[in-house]
Structure 1
Amino acid sequence: MKHLHTYGFVLAALLASGCASTSNTTSKAPVTDAEKLRAVATTYGNTITAADLSKHLHIIASDEYEGRNTGEKGQKMAAEYIAREFREDGLIGPVKNSSNPYYQAFDLERSQWGEGHILVGGKKFQMLQDFFVLGSSPYQTEQATEIVFAGYGIDDAKYSDYANVDVTGKMVVVLAGEPKDSKGNFLISGTTKASDWGNDYRAKRNAATKRGAKSVLIVTGTNAAEFNTQTQRYKSFASRPSLGLKNTRTQESAASMFVSPAAGAALLSTTPEKLIAYGNEVAKAGKPVAATFTPAKDVKVLTARVTTLVPTENVLGFIEGSDKKDEVIVVTAHYDHVGMEEDAPGDDKIFNGANDDGSGTVAVIELAEAFAQAKKAGYGPRRSILFMTVTAEEKGLLGSEYYSNNPIFPLENTVANVNIDMIGRMDFDYEKQNDSNYIYVIGADKLSSELHTINEEANQKYVNLKLDYKYNDENDPNRFYYRSDHYNFAKHGIPIIFYFNGVHADYHKPGDEVDKILFDSAEKVARLAFYTTWELANRDNRIVVDSNKK
């Protein structure tokens, strides 16, 4: 299975890359006048049709592709299909020194927890039972460790548990939540509203990291039953294998663990009741209190992580520009989905991912074909365009992260990223109105005011969708700006625009099928993405980076 990504066409790919290079050229001088190029935009935008989107999606979102789970058979089949479309349309495979120049191949790591325990004298506390690790851990072999107590683990201008406490290289035990005063108000906010110190464990992890701790153990709940209830979702997450980029760096953050009151108390040579009572002392004093706990001396920790390599690939097709060829527009969608689940309710065990993100993938294929046809006719693009369908988005935006860390074309030459994820369906709100003539536009104004304007003008001139900016609000709790592949470009200062139709009842369920896609709607969104990309690629000046919005 490891070599399925070549799919037996190494020789064909090598030959095709040579053919693609010639088919990407034209016998007459290319048009480089921006106005003349704008005048022919609809000729190629109109080649993007509902029928063609449907044709492609009925293939890659079929049961034969088994849900396109990263690293598995269906994902490899989809990669081969996309690469073949790019090749046949005349796009260049830009990946050098590769058996298939359309593949940016790399290895992910599949990992899961193995043996794990905390030994306190003769008492053993088991991982996934008495404690859980979130993220990575440095205790791959059993190690002796020094324990220190740091109250609630808060290090804030208004309240700090780290004053005169040395935690360098040590395991820090802290209480979950945050302290209150005798009136029941939180000491940090002065109100009944908790701060990030109580709502987000990462605040305590970051504080421990800043102080040099090796790990931070957050005592959760007041008894075993509360611990089990409050950590159930972490247990479910921690017990499953996960995929990630290969870890080539040393641990950057303190390891984070949630521990039961019994385990936390044992590490401090006390009882759960006395440990939890520390909060009452703080409430009475209204400030941090020096604890009288005696950290256990004979403590050993093991949290083994078992890893295997998972080969996967981003699929890239390239159209070289004319007079501004060193500048690159990147058009993306993720072609992976979540695969199959044998224990899924009902008879359908395959998560076909027609909307998420088969719809964006086929839009990218259609945009690539449209620009290739324009290129052959001598109509641009002036800037180069990289069409890239990325892998492992569902595992944490890993394919796009890998590209942004290992770009084929320099990031400083990358003008913008146009990202398409989940189009051609109505979300909960628009379904109530039976209105499919809309698209959520996210991120276009975050780094460039010109990108926002370009998209608005393209929509008004060619498509006339309702542009909904609901999810572009920095206070939107869904945080979609951070949840698709464009973000791995945005974090490098590259302007992005994200097209998205929203979430529906079939999201990440077997019901995300092709027959529920509204292809007329998908056509309009794909054309809007095309016209925005056309302007980005053919205008005289590279768009400015003049904003710094969240």
Structure 2
Amino acid sequence: MKKIIILTTFFMSIMKPVAAQKNSTDKSVEYANTITATDLAKHLKILASDSLQGRETGEPGQKMAADYIAEQFFNDHLKPVMKHDGEDSYFQHFDLVRKSWGEVYIETGTKRREFLKDFYLLGSLSIPQEKNVEVVFGGYGIESEKYSDYKNIDVTNKAVLILSGEPKSKKGKSLVTDSDKPSEWASDWRKKVTLARQKGAAYVLIIQPDEMKVGTFIANYRGYLTNPRLILKYKETPTQGDGTIFVSREMGVEILGVSEKALAKWQRKIARKKTSKSFAIANVAMKFENKEQIVQSENVLGLVEGTDKKDEIVVVTAHYDHVGVINGEIHNGADDDGSGTVAVLEIAQAFAEAKRNGNGPRRSMLFMTVAGEEKGLLGSEYYTDHAALPLQNTVCDLNIDMIGRIDEAHTGNPDYVYLIGSDKLSSKLHAISEEMNQKYSKLALDYKYNDPSDPNRFYYRSDHYNFARYKVPVIFYFNGTHEDYHRPTDDIEKINFAKIEKIARLVFHTAWEVANREERIKVDSNKK
């Protein structure tokens, strides 16, 4: 890539600046039409091939994908905006820490309990050497006006062991709500964990209601629970972590030092007397050993420089990483997010061609494909925390993630797209989006997932969100999930390229309008 980068610098230096912009709204259709299903398929055939091994962040396949994207930016004469070893570069490098499990166990009495058999962990936890921990039984771990498990107990710097669910009367009514309606405590274990931490607990263990629930969860999510975790190196802290330990009922009973019958009797007593009884238990020994390795990844950035408003930037993003190889099977991620990545490449090509023809945008266009999305939006988080171009000059981010399939809700109407976030920060961006669709694309714009009460919370689950954190207006283009989501069957043969073409052209028209209008769109809202 070094040779390519040097040539790019030379090429850009000999290009004559455009003296006067011939930009016209009528020209937008001409350049939008250069985005074709044929070219999209050409790119995806490479990016979603087995040779890239699922493009997992930090792995060779991801590096190969990054090289391919940078090569396309070079071929289309996009300007590199980064420096690497003193030379212009398309790559924004960032370091990650890969954490994997070493020795993990909990000893109860004379019995050593096995990780991913008797218990599992959600979140992070670091106990590099065996540690004796005092345990307090905290009942259901609830504190409310009508019911409390924390009366007369001190959990400071101790482990608190709590039951899942909530106490109920003999008639099945919640003792918390005093009605047939369950409380939030019954379904949201995080609420219990938050309370325990506020009370000073160092560790939280939750007893699951039956053995099958623990076994089923471990079976379904073993890959997630055992795969190495990646975190941004600059955000790593030496804390022990705040993970939550979920234990089987049989293991929980052993920690309590009572029989299953005694625990059931205790629960019935709560139902009868409507009062909890929490108490201290014997110590347990715990070890959660982490192994660490530094991994380098990169975002790929290419710029089409604007004219009279070039200091303002419109960003178009997609993530080019996927989940790699799981249990020996390559997950090619053709839709997630190969579809968004190839859309970015084609939109970039269209803007670059417009610039070469003297019709370039007034504002600069930054095209960025990010890594680390599947690991927690890490690439976009790094960019927004270390922006190559000032965030205060960034007008908006148009983010494209999974636009190549049709979900069950739209089997009869494939010409749709879910829009998320368009009205969250800027009413003008939302209006422009609607106007461009009505004028050019005529897709069915579905705002189902824009509803803040939607349980999927997609607004927080793709790379646009890291721009929104900094009050940069965003639109997230999405076609919904499907049966091949994060499975080895998300392959190119199932991709609807005509659909990608239509949505990519809508993104192009929206970006064109935002980049060329006289007034910069304003932040005038703060919706969740």
TM-score by length of 2: 0.91
Give the secondary-structure state (helix, strand or coil) at the position aligned to 2:282.
Answer: coil
After superposition, the C-alpha distances for 1:86-130 in whole angstroms (9 at most, x for unaligned) are: 122121211234566211122333333221222344343232232
Partners in 2 of 1:304 and 1:397 — Cα distance?
Answer: 25
After superposition, the C-alpha distances for 1:268-302 in whole angstroms (9 at most, x for unaligned) are: 44334333433223222334x233x44214x3211
Say if 2:125 and 2:240, in contact at 8 Å, map to a contact too: no
Shift of 1:420: 0.9
Partners in 2 of 1:326 and 1:83 — Cα distance?
Answer: 23
Matching residue of 2:443: 465
For residue 313 of structure 1, what is the amino acid of its counterpart?
E
Runs (4 or more) in structure 1 with deviation over 4 Å come to 224-227, 229-232
Say if 2:319 and 2:401, in contact at 8 Å, map to a contact too: yes
Shift of 1:459: 0.8
Matching residue of 2:372: 392
| Structure 1 runs not aligned, ≥5 long | 1-8, 344-348
Matching residue of 1:296: 282
Matching residue of 2:18: 27
Matching residue of 1:6: none
Shift of 1:143: 1.9
Matching residue of 2:135: 147
Change in CA separation of 1:191 and 1:310 when aligned onto 2, cut-off 3 Å:
farther
Alignment pair present for 1:255 and 2:243: yes
Say if 1:21 and 1:91, in contact at 8 Å, map to a contact too: no
Give the secondary-structure state (helix, strand or coil) at the position aligned to 1:326.
Answer: strand
Matching residue of 2:399: 419
For residue 352 of structure 2, what is the amino acid of its counterpart?
A
Shift of 1:216: 0.5
Alignment pair present for 1:42 and 2:29: yes
Alignment pair present for 1:505 and 2:496: no
Name the stretch that deviates more: 493-502 or 529-538. Answer: 493-502
Matches within 5 A, 1:238-317: 238-246=225-233, 248-251=236-239, 254-287=242-275, 289-291=276-278, 293-297=279-283, 299-317=284-302
Matching residue of 2:525: 547
Change in CA separation of 1:368 and 1:22 when aligned onto 2, cut-off 3 Å:
farther
Partners in 1 of 2:59 and 2:252 — Cα distance?
Answer: 41
Matching residue of 1:137: 125
Alignment pair present for 1:12 and 2:4: yes
User: Which of 434, 455, 458 is the equivalent residue of 1:456?
Assistant: 434
Matching residue of 2:415: 437
Say if 1:205 and 1:255, in contact at 8 Å, map to a contact too: no
Say if 2:135 and 2:280, in contact at 8 Å, map to a contact too: no
For residue 437 of structure 1, what is the amino acid of its counterpart?
D
Partners in 1 of 2:40 and 2:510 — Cα distance?
Answer: 19
Partners in 1 of 2:373 and 2:310 — Cα distance?
Answer: 29
After superposition, the C-alpha distances for 1:185-235 in whole angstroms (9 at most, x for unaligned) are: 22334444433322232222212222222110111225x556434654455
Give the secondary-structure state (helix, strand or coil) at the position aligned to 1:151.
Answer: coil
Partners in 1 of 2:53 and 2:220 — Cα distance?
Answer: 27
Partners in 1 of 2:375 and 2:117 — Cα distance?
Answer: 25
Partners in 2 of 1:324 and 1:160 — Cα distance?
Answer: 60
Partners in 2 of 1:453 and 1:37 — Cα distance?
Answer: 20
Give the secondary-structure state (helix, strand or coil) at the position aligned to 1:446.
Answer: coil
Taking only aligned residues, the RMSD between alpha carbons, in angstroms, comes to 2.6
Partners in 2 of 1:275 and 1:22 — Cα distance?
Answer: 80
User: Which of 68, 71, 90 is the equivalent residue of 2:55?
Assistant: 68
More strand by share: 2
Matching residue of 1:492: 470
Give the secondary-structure state (helix, strand or coil) at the position aligned to 1:142.
Answer: strand
Say if 2:352 and 2:360, in contact at 8 Å, map to a contact too: no
Give the secondary-structure state (helix, strand or coil) at the position aligned to 1:296.
Answer: strand
For residue 523 of structure 1, what is the amino acid of its counterpart?
E
Alignment pair present for 1:534 and 2:512: yes
Partners in 2 of 1:543 and 1:22 — Cα distance?
Answer: 34
Give the secondary-structure state (helix, strand or coil) at the position aligned to 2:128.
Answer: coil
TM-score by length of 1: 0.88
Question: Aligned residues, how many?
Answer: 526
Partners in 2 of 1:209 and 1:414 — Cα distance?
Answer: 38
Change in CA separation of 1:271 and 1:227 when aligned onto 2, cut-off 3 Å:
farther
Say if 2:81 and 2:88, in contact at 8 Å, map to a contact too: no
Partners in 2 of 1:237 and 1:56 — Cα distance?
Answer: 30
Change in CA separation of 1:38 and 1:248 when aligned onto 2, cut-off 3 Å:
same
Partners in 1 of 2:327 and 2:107 — Cα distance?
Answer: 37
Partners in 2 of 1:239 and 1:216 — Cα distance?
Answer: 20
User: Which of 156, 175, 185 is the equivalent residue of 1:197?
Assistant: 185
Partners in 2 of 1:373 and 1:364 — Cα distance?
Answer: 14
Partners in 2 of 1:322 and 1:252 — Cα distance?
Answer: 51
Give the secondary-structure state (helix, strand or coil) at the position aligned to 2:290.
Answer: strand
Matching residue of 2:209: 221
Change in CA separation of 1:88 and 1:127 when aligned onto 2, cut-off 3 Å:
same
Name the stretch that deviates more: 476-485 or 529-538. Answer: 476-485
Partners in 1 of 2:222 and 2:338 — Cα distance?
Answer: 31
For residue 56 of structure 2, what is the amino acid of its counterpart?
N
Partners in 1 of 2:223 and 2:48 — Cα distance?
Answer: 28
